[in-house]
Each structure stands twice: as C-alpha cells, then as structure tokens.
Amino acid sequence: MEPSSASLDWAVVAQLSGSDYPHPEPPPCQLLSPHLGPIPYRPDQIIEFPYGLPAFEEQRSFLLVSLQQVPLVIFLQSVTSPELLFVTLPVTVIDPHYRLELTPEACQLLRLPAEEPVQIGRHVLCLAIVTLAHEQPPTANLLAPIVVNPAARMGIQFIQCDSGYSHQHPLYRGLEGG
C-alpha cells in the first residue's frame, strides 16, 4: 500500500461514545507510519489495551485509522511501534449475525457493565484481524476479535472458546456461496 495521509475513523467511534469528533482544534500529535504515512491524532484518540495483544503484549496503545480508498477497512496502528499495523474489518461485514459473548472479566477490562448484554455497534466496536498471506486467499480471525469500548477508550483481543468461529475464516466464502 502506498503511503498516504490517513485519517482516524472516528465516525463509528463517535457514534458509539457520544463524542463530538472531529474536534474543532487541530490534532497536536502525529505518528509517521511506514505503511500509511503521517497520521495526525490527539492523545484522547488512543485506545489502550491493558494486556496488549497475543504475541504483542508490550504493545498497549493503538489508533483506529481508516482510508477513504478502503472504506470498510479499519487499521489498528500501534502508537509505540509505528511499523506494527493490523488490517481489520468489522465482524458484522464478514458475518452479519456474528455473536459476541463477553465474560464478566472481559467486561470489567473494557469498563462495561457485566449485568447487561453487550451489543456490537451499540456498546462496542468488534473487529476481525485479516491475514493477507502471499499467494493465499485472505482470512479473518473471527475466533479472537478485537473488541473496543470507544467510550472508555479500552480494547482487548477476546478469544471466544467453543464459539464455533475460526481464526482462519475465508473472506471469499460469502461471495462464492460456500
């Protein structure tokens, strides 16, 4: 992907959190991503992952970034390691009937009330990490989605054991009818 000016995808996040993005004042910070180019942001746009991500436990601060050229894709960009970038899609783009069943511990980490059911798009943003391997069809990890509470700016990668979802869900399945 050719580097270009990236913008934060706060339309979805603002809708979920009630925030008034974009802010009237310019962003005070800028991250230079080798993949996306310069990314302006404010510190209050950083999503914190208290335990990082599996295999990247030391990476705890990320931005959600979108590009107009690929409107469905949300990039998960590390703030502390600009070379680390994950390609994600909203799980409901892949599976409109996707079920997310968070544990009380996960709700606590995300600062969500455990007593009420969590709804994707209302309480949380739920993203599947996409794998783009050379000469292989793209797949999405529906087994362990990235779950973000935009109101609290907290995120986790939540493994849904015994859910029936795969960590290698083919992205072309719906298009080919299989």
Pairing of strands 61-67, 47-48: antiparallel
Distance CA 81, CA 6 (A): 17
Distance CA 91, CA 97 (A): 9
According to the 3-state scheme, what is the secondary structure of 57-78?
A: CCCCEEEEEEECCEEEEEEEEE
pLDDT of res. 1 = 41
Paired with 40 in beta bridges are 30
- The CATH topology of domain 7-176 is BH3618-like (2.30.290)
pLDDT in tens, 6-15: 443 445 444 3
* Percentage of the residues of the chain whose pLDDT score is greater than 70: 82
* Mean pLDDT computed over 88-100: 94
Distance CA 53, CA 125 (A): 16
pLDDT in tens, 62-88: 999 988 888 899 999 999 999 999 999
pTM: 0.82
| 43 secondary structure, DSSP code | G
Domain boundaries, the chain: 7-176
pLDDT in tens, 108-143: 999 998 788 888 988 999 999 999 888 889 999 999
| 119 secondary structure, DSSP code | -
Instruction: Give every CB contact of residue 111 below 8 A, 6+ residues apart in sequence.
Output: 149, 151, 152, 154
